[in-house]
Amino acid sequence: MIESTAVAFGAAYVVLAIYGRRACWIPGGISSALYIVVFFAAGLPLQSALQVAYVPLAVYGWLAWRVDAGKEARPASWPVSRHLLMLACVGAATALSAPLLSRHGASAAPVAESLGTWGSVVATWLIARRCLEAWLWWIVIDVGLAGLFLSQGLVPTAALYLSFALLAVAGWRSWKKGPAAP
């Protein structure tokens, strides 16, 4: 029941984000709050902790997506050098967290969980900053996380994340065209 509700709010978040709607951050925060419990119960403590971080990130996104003085916020493309720096950060964080998770038996899949978690942190921050390439990050991350969740028996969540990957393609196309009309 909790997982199904989290899936529904998660889907609403992505659809609203594709259309550049500030309201996306509300169902995103609710979905994250519910997934704290779901991922903890599935033996994915880093994903559970990520959801704890997502709740304030949803508030940050809500605030960052304000429209000031009638100006419409537009997505921007970031240089490759910034993305390479972000990838290096994900790699470094994974190199630190995966062995800790493995050593303490805290995670069912330490490397996959670490990569998915740290990549998700960066991708969420990129979405909040309205970086066009955030959607490309999400395509890769969502496919990988779908496999992780499927391996843990979270079939509805795995299906949601595969849907997220497809929606990320739509998000990429939509943001590349420009923001939707209010």
Q: Domain limits at 49?
A: 2-66+79-177
171, part of any domain: yes
Question: Which pLDDT score is estimated for 179?
Answer: 52
- Under DSSP, the state recorded for 180 is P
Question: Which pLDDT score is estimated for 69?
Answer: 42
Measure CA 109 to chain center: 18
18, part of any domain: yes
Strand intervals (E) in the chain:
none
89, part of any domain: yes
Question: Which pLDDT score is estimated for 72?
Answer: 56
- Are 84 and 99 within 8 A, CB to CB? no
B/e letters for 120-130, b = 16+ CB within 10 Å, e = fewer, are bbbbbbbbbeb
Question: Which pLDDT score is estimated for 107?
Answer: 81
78-133: pLDDT as tens digits: 999 999 999 999 999 999 999 998 888 778 889 999 999 999 999 988 988 889 99
Per the structure, the count of domains in the chain is: 1
73, part of any domain: no
149, part of any domain: yes
Element (H, E) at 161: helix 155-177
